[in-house]
Structure 1
Amino acid sequence: MELLGFGAGGWGWSFLSGLLVTVEVAILALPLGLFFGLMIALGRRSKSRLVRAASVGYANAFQAIPELLTIFAIYHGCSQLIQFLMSELNIQTSWTVPGVAAGSFALSLVFAAYSSEIWLGALAGIGRGQYEAAISLGLPGIASLRIVILPQAFRLALPGLGNLWIILLKDTALVSLISVSDFMREVNLAVAATHRYFVLYLFACLGYILLTKISEFALERLSLRTSRHLVRTV
């Protein structure tokens, strides 16, 4: 179909570019979300009541706040904060936070809140003997966490984190509302220009299904790789 083609009058290149931006936003959000989520999970296991309370409060807050509101708050709030600070220095600027950066960071904060629950369950699923073994080896706290605990926790957490990744991919469509030229925004622009609602939105559905299936395949391979040492040969 000419509408979806890469020639004159086609939107193919725009859709491809938008699809790459969608993946970019998700990939940028993932490592931050994983790291923050792990820190929150460790905080919830802390001996300090204050740290535990702060960790639980963070998780509850970002699970309750709509993702779109978080994106708007980060994008507009940070932009206004920077402009205010610049004005205090007598520097006039209309600079705004890049949409990709703001959207990725906002989604990472939400991802962290949900991934902390998965990390918490994974850490609880590791036998006490593993912690005692790390101590008996004389490993300091951070080293024992990195060498002994985290590899096992990641394997246990992978199925849940994989599901969150799929959700994250779909949530990236929200960044189109802060003028990020992701896949959903490009589809909406094409719809506004051509009024081919059914065809283009059906195509958008297929695009996200494709991303999901590719992700499921990659996650399955990663799961096999992280669990291959558990397979016994007869």
Structure 2
Amino acid sequence: MELLGFGAGGWGWSFLSGLVVTLEVAILALPLGLFLGLMIALGRRSKSRLLRIASIGYASAFQAIPELLTIFAIYHGCSQLIQLLMSQLDVQTAWTVPGVGAGSFALSLVFAAYSSEIWLGALAGIGRGQYEAALSLGLPGIASLRNVILPQAFRLALPGLGNLWIILLKDTALVSLISVSDFMRQVNLAVAATHRYFVLYLFACLGYIVLTKISEFGLERLNLRTSRHLVRTA
């Protein structure tokens, strides 16, 4: 327990700061991933053939590419691109893309590809009568989507999106490979310093289990709240 403690020689504060960074990466990736996923789903339902092809192509590409490769491409590729642009302006700099930002953005792109499938299924699950009712009320397309369709689609999509959130939490461990001081990187640093492999990796497993269980509890409460208006029949 001294190894995991917060006193001298303990790694407790390092692990706690790593957990904060892990949550930061996941929380930063979530809203952009949800929004892009919704846009892709709407694009796949569009009447425009070009928009449908582009949306399907995006989802297929990011579902096929490993998450780690996406993270490396964003982190190293964008850093190199910025340095190239700076060199064209005769500005000498070694500035690189922040690891937290690059990791969050890369994971949001992957999250969007998978969440688009869930949004697509949720939108398909809304009856045509809902669209006709919004039209009969004189609501324009954006207002109809925001006030009538999306609230219902979100309730239908929530279980699937919740599963993706848990997957996203676990995928944040990949950002440790671009030197982000997340929970997994702090554990690896502790292992390298102490060689206590079994204890520390077991502790890492327990840490992710705790994050998952807390998320499951929160998602369950959110699901109950979004479904509170539904009438249960025998």
Secondary structure in structure 2 of the residue aligned to 1:230: coil
- Supply the distance in 1 between the matched residues of 2:21 and 2:161 (Cα, whole angstroms): 21
SS across alignment from 1:96: coil
Matches of 1:192 and 1:158 in 2, distance apart? 40
Q: Which residue of 1 aligns with 2:131?
A: 131
Residue 62 of structure 2 aligns with which residue? Answer: 62
Q: How does 1:1-234 map to 2 (within 5 A)?
A: 1-232=1-232
Distance 1:102 1:129 in 2: 42
Q: Secondary structure at the match of 2:3?
A: helix
Q: CA RMSD in A?
A: 1.0
Give the Cα separation in 1 of the matches to 2:64 and 2:208. 25
SS of the aligned residue for 1:82 comes to helix
1:18-48 per-position Cα deviation (integer Å, ceiling 9, x unaligned): 0010001000000000000000000000001
CA distance in 2 between counterparts of 1:29 and 1:223 reads 21
* TM-score, scaled to structure 1: 0.99
CA distance in 2, matches of 1:12, 1:47: 55
Q: What is the deviation of 1:232?
A: 4.9
Number of corresponding residues: 234
Q: How far is 1:231 from its partner? A: 3.6
Q: CA deviation at 1:143?
A: 0.6
CA distance in 1, matches of 2:83, 2:132: 52
**Runs (5+) with no aligned partner, structure 2:** none
Return the alpha-carbon distance in structure 1 between the equivalents of residues 231 and 25 of structure 2: 35
CA displacement, residues 145-189 of structure 1 (integer Å, 9 cap, x when unaligned)? 000000000000000000000000000000000000000000000
Q: How far apart, in 2, do the equivalents of 1:222 and 1:27 lie?
A: 16
User: What is the CA–CA distance in structure 2 between the aligned matches of 1:140 and 1:105, rounded to whole Å?
Assistant: 32
Q: Residues of 1 paired with 2:87 and 2:136: CA distance?
A: 57
Q: Tell me, in whole angstroms, the C-alpha distance in 2 between the residues paired with 1:128 and 1:232.
A: 23
Q: Tell me how far apart the structure 1 counterparts of residues 53 and 88 of structure 2 sit (CA, whole Å).
A: 35
- Rounded Cα–Cα distance in structure 2 between residues aligned with 1:71 and 1:135: 43
Over 3 Å counting, the alpha-carbon distance change for 1:52 and 1:233 in structure 2 is closer
Aligned equivalents of 1:75, 1:102: Cα separation in 2: 5
Gaps of 5+ in 1: none
Q: Distance between the aligned counterparts of 1:69 and 1:134, measured in 2?
A: 43
Q: What SS does structure 2 have at the residue aligned with 1:228?
A: coil
Give secondary structure in 1 for the equivalent of 2:228.
Answer: helix
Q: What is the deviation of 1:57?
A: 0.2
**What is the Cα deviation at residue 233 of structure 1?**
9.3
The offset of 1:76, in angstroms, is 0.4
Question: Where do 4+ consecutive residues of structure 1 move more than 3 Å?
Answer: 231-234
Say which SS state the counterpart of residue 121 (structure 2) adopts: helix
